[in-house]
Amino acid sequence: MAQQTISTLPKDSKRNDDSAQNVVHPSGKFLYDSDRGHDSIAVFAIDATKGTLTPIAMFARQGKTPHNFEIDATGPYLLAASQESKNIVAFRSDQKTLRLASSGQVVEVGMPVCVGFVVVE
């Protein structure tokens, strides 16, 4: 039985798009979800006691047809790959509110469908 059903789209949206990926922030306090069609990333606060989500914000992906995104292990950066716009956009997240802002860094590539961080020691 579902405990909660929550949309990744704005309340006034009449779209029926697909959620592309969910990623929990390294702090465990926030969930990020990307949506294909709406081309956005929604951020939710996680209530660990109740096991529920509360919408915090929604951000444009700055790309079309999002496939994959990843948050670095320390938390301040998020890379978002968008297949149809053929780019990867780097975002910075505020470490208190986890709101995203473009870093201004965009890499044009073939048709990205997956991104990740590599730890180099």
pTM of the model: 0.81
What would you report as the CA-atom Rg of the chain, rounded to the nearest whole angstrom?
A: 14
- Per-residue confidence (pLDDT) for residue 2, from 0 to 100: 66
pLDDT in single tens digits along all 121 residues of the chain: 667 778 777 677 666 667 778 889 888 888 888 887 777 888 899 999 998 999 988 887 777 777 788 988 887 888 988 888 899 999 888 777 767 777 888 999 988 888 888 878 7
Measured CA to CA, the distance from residue 67 to residue 80 in angstroms comes to 8
- Domain boundaries along the sequence of the chain: 19-108
The Cβ-side half-sphere exposure at 68, using a 13 Å CA radius, reads 8
